[in-house]
A = this chain, B = another copy of it.
């Protein structure tokens, strides 16, 4: 059976600085996932001051603790940063984006993402005013 490929772009609405669950938005943007028996979904963010990660999908306090941790690990306006023209949150956003990563690859099975029970997709908005964020979704696999 010939393989299936699906690719689409999604524009996420502007969100405040922090960590946001977007699992449902990603799934709804690519209903063709249901046509794959076995495959993978690649989720990619086209920005260098936002990131994607997979983590706990139930407790909002986990997402707040992510913000607390990363804001301490990469402090705004650290004295040793040279690239400061775009504001105190810009260079930290670039570094957090590298620590967290700009894409996720997720297994697909029987028409659905094969995530663990507690896994959800986080958009990591690393700037104060990041504006809308652009994703590229690419799914591929064997048809059902």
Minimum CB distance partner of A114 in chain B: B136
Asked if A66 contacts B102 (CB within 8 A), the reply is no
The proximity string for A residues 100-122 relative to B, scoring 1 for CB distances below 8 Å and 0 otherwise, is: 11111111010000111111000
Asked if B53 contacts A69 (CB within 8 A), the reply is no
Minimum CB distance partner of A72 in chain B: B80
Asked if B94 contacts A56 (CB within 8 A), the reply is yes
A130 shortest CB reach to chain B, Å: 12
Asked, given contacts A7-B38, A81-B68, A97-B55, whether A44 binds B142 with beta carbons under 8 Å apart, the answer is: no
Number of interface residues of A (CB under 8 A): 61
The proximity string for A residues 78-106 relative to B, scoring 1 for CB distances below 8 Å and 0 otherwise, is: 10111100000001001101111111111
Asked if A114 contacts B56 (CB within 8 A), the reply is no
- List, sorted by A's number, 22 A–B pairs whose CB atoms are closer than 8 Å: A5-B39, A7-B109, A39-B138, A46-B117, A48-B116, A48-B119, A53-B98, A55-B94, A55-B97, A56-B94, A61-B83, A62-B83, A65-B81, A66-B98, A68-B82, A69-B80, A73-B73, A99-B100, A103-B105, A103-B106, A109-B136, A116-B134
